[in-house]
Chain A
Amino acid sequence: MTCCAPGVEAAADMASEDAGADDDLLRAASRNLGDGKFQLELAVPDVHCATCITGIEGALGTLGMVDNARVNLSTKRVRITYHSEDGTHPAQLLDTLKRAGHRAFLLDNAFDDRSDETMRQLLRALAVSGFAAGNIMLFSVSIWSGADEVTRTLFHWISALIAIPAVGYAGRPFFTSAIGALRTRHLNMDVPIALAVTLALILSVFETAIGGQDAYFDASVSLLFFLLIGRTLDHMMRERARGAVKNLSRLSPRNAVRHMPDGTRQVIPISEIAPGMLIVVAAGERLPVDGLVVSGNSELDCSLVTGESAPELARHGTEFLAGTLNLSGAITIEATHPADESFLARMISLMEAAEGARAGYRRIADRAADIYAPAVHILALVTLIGWIVLSGDWHVSVLNAMAVLIITCPCALALAVPMVHMVASGRLFENGIMVKDSAALERLAAVTHVVFDKTGTLTEGRPRVQRQIFGDPELASRAAALAQLSAHPFSRALVSAFAAESLTVSETREVPGSGLEAVIDGEVWRLGRADWCHADKNNVSGSSQVWLSRGDKAVAAFALADQPRGDAATTIAELGHLGVGVTLLSGDQRGAVDELAARLGISAAESNLKPQDKMDGIRALQAAGHKVLMVGDGINDAPALRLADVSLAPSSAADVGRSAADFVFVRDNLSAVTFAISMARRADRAVKQNFGLAVLYNAVAVPLAVAGFVTPLIAALAMSSSSILVTLNALRLRLGRNTPAGAVEHARVHEPHYVPEPAE
């Protein structure tokens, strides 16, 4: 199979997604490098192999304006340096990518380098602490194997020379976090870490100065090294998921076309739309504001807005909400609300008010630190006082108290959570589930009830041919051939359901809101709405149908419906096995919802719900003591996604829904839900086991430290072994089956899309 055949992937929907991306928008998104040079970063979500890289870089390289183009396969972005004078069109960059067969999207704040900088800081700290730990360990090993007095003191001094700057540099992430926590009068894990590292260092320098036996330079630095490994991996994983989610977001249009009273058209920013203005919405665009249809014939897809699956016919005077997708023909609407009071804006303000269950959530590591940190400090203090009272020797007392602090320093504890989350997020990422926030993993593990949205979540969100309800089966290939000429979702469904015969057609025209007409062998064929195709009224039932007519006689008809995702029923059944209840809350009509619920075996289903009703449904479940997972994709689901304890959205979701959700799954199968829940539960168990291991280790080591038996060698051994143990335990999460979708994902990217030829 060829990889990335150029041209075929430029799906017909590209027109809708990039309509707003003109020259000015691209220039505004670019960074000015001076000398007329600009740098632009675009998301290219489908790149995945060497051919994609050379394809994109090669195609962009042929443009005269491009100085340099570099694809980053890890972040799935391309960074383009170009020079722009008057007369060059940055929009060419997008066109070129499209022609090369790659979808490309503008990114909001592509040049937000802050997280990049944190990553580099962590890596630098890691390198420095690794270097210091290795070298100091060399000296420590010679001391442990019996270096004599002068040599030992020399080695201690050299260790000190390495350790002091290394701790000062590599320890900064912990020091700043600890100081930040103390400022707000809290204790987090970083407080005992910072304290132990600093005190161990100070004590060691003091010991070295008086020529003493024990110095803890190695413990201090290798502790930092281990902790930095955990923190860096954690950060890397999170950034990867966050970047992947960001690549999905499209830049929403900021301009609308206004139909002026004198008949001319003018482009105005969406924020300037006032009620009463006439706005022209082209086919394939979403409504910028709520409005009444004034003129034009089209069908509108409300699935992301209300959850209704069947497209609605635009009639004069019907009101549609912002975010509704215009399917077939240009329409003019009269704005009823300004942009900041539109449906979308109302949903966002509802969402912001609905933080509810999350604000009160405290992460398990913080809860552990609350108990652990005071316990450790009190124990060290008790040891100090006890030894002073019993022996009266200040030096020995301080030494032993310090040993307690070092040995209890929560190395294992601090690694226990991030290591597990890192491995679990990695597994989820490989299975197409992006974790935006690792605290959400903890909340997901506690879930007892799942609330599903219907359209686009349990179902695929696009119509599919169910069966041919009327006419000769052989006509299906003719219907498919005609359907190839249109980008309407119904036509696409026909094309993917039947093999198209090859035809010579002429005089094709698409009638918005009705269908498609073409002349084949001197006869007029129509594909479209029932009444337009001369259908017998008695044959027309309620569901979505496409009719085919020849001359003035209907010859075939097909029933279409939004089908449930392939594995929806098994997923619902598996959720039952996991002991999780399921509720379906949909904004769609009662009939469609009940039918789907019966098919999938969901007993609790509610229909015709408004966004507030969905929120009420979730509140009721939460009041009954449930921890609720919300899975939804629409604009109308966004407040519910935020209100639920934890939430999941498919990548096809509306931008606002995706940003409200904690997890985003990019594959077509719903088993992501069960996989995520069981992975979160395994992670939760592993975290608790790790805490158990850390407590066990402390139970053995702390009495030794209090009794004064801990030498630097024992401290180093005990700490490293416990860290390695929790890491290995976390790695167990890598075992077990993946969701069965790896191959599907690959096929989806390479699936050839049909590119409609221009009509003759």
Chain B
Amino acid sequence: MDGLLVLIPVALFLGALGLGAFLWSLRSGQFEDLDGAAHRILTDEDEGPLPDRKPSGKK
């Protein structure tokens, strides 16, 4: 029973972490072009992160 008191918060925290990671990646535009992402792995040069999406976020 004592174990539960530790394990439940831990389980919920890990779940929430995953949810947060998904929402963050959604916001940063990583789900905008899934086909492109599949092909870009074939290009040689390294790519930086996506450009800032401020313009569409500010309205």
Contacts and interface: CB of A to CB of B under 8 A. Distances in A.
Q: Is B truly associated with A?
A: yes
A68 B40 CA distance: 16
A71 B8 contact: no
Given A70-B50, A123-B26, A131-B16, A113 B32 contact: no
Contact of A135 (B11, B36, B43): B11
Given A53-B43, A124-B26, A131 B15 contact: yes
Contacts of B56: 113
A73 B32 CA distance: 10
Contacts of A74: 32-36
Contacts of A72: 32-33, 36
Interface residues of B, number: 26
A124 B33 CA distance: 17
B35 A127 contact: no
Nearest to A47: B36
A53 B39 contact: yes
Given A50-B42, A131-B15, A151-B1, A73 B26 contact: no
B15 to A, nearest CB: 5
Contact of A81 (B33, B34, B35, B51): B51
A75 interface: yes
B35 to A, nearest CB: 4
| Most-contacted residue by chain B among A120, A128, A162 (CB, 10 A) | A120
Interface in A149-171: 151, 158, 162
Contacts of B50: 70
Interface in A112-163: 113, 120, 123-124, 127-128, 131, 134-135, 138, 151, 158, 162
| Most-contacted residue by chain A among B8, B18, B36 (CB, 10 A) | B36
A158 B31 CA distance: 32
Interface in B2-47: 4, 8, 11-12, 15-16, 18-19, 22-23, 26, 31-36, 39-40, 42-43
A135 B13 CA distance: 11
A31 to B, nearest CB: 7
Interface in A47-71: 49-50, 53-54, 68, 70-71
A68 B35 CA distance: 20
B19 A131 contact: yes
A50 B39 contact: yes
Contacts, number: 56
Contact of B22 (A54, A70, A127, A135): A127
A124 B27 CA distance: 10
Interface residues of A, number: 28
B19 A128 contact: yes
A611 to B, nearest CB: 40
A401 B20 CA distance: 37
A728 interface: no
Contacts of A158: 8, 12
A298 interface: no
Contact of B36 (A31, A71, A124, A131): A71
Contact of B12 (A49, A70, A71, A135): A135
B45 to A, nearest CB: 8
B55 A134 contact: no
Interface in A8-37: 31, 33
A336 interface: no
Contacts of A127: 19, 22-23, 26
A71 B40 CA distance: 10
A39 B32 contact: no
Contacts of A70: 50-51
A127 B16 CA distance: 10
A68 B49 CA distance: 12
A31 B58 CA distance: 14
A399 to B, nearest CB: 27
A73 B36 contact: yes
20 contacts: A31-B55, A33-B55, A39-B55, A53-B39, A53-B43, A70-B50, A71-B36, A73-B33, A74-B35, A81-B51, A120-B26, A124-B23, A127-B19, A127-B22, A131-B15, A135-B11, A135-B12, A138-B11, A151-B1, A162-B12
Given A53-B43, A135-B11, A162-B12, 5 more contacts: A53-B36, A68-B51, A72-B32, A128-B19, A131-B18
Interface of B: 1, 4, 8, 11-12, 15-16, 18-19, 22-23, 26, 31-36, 39-40, 42-43, 50-51, 55-56
- 5 smallest CB-CB distances across A and B, nearest first, come from A73-B36, A50-B42, A50-B39, A131-B19, A72-B33
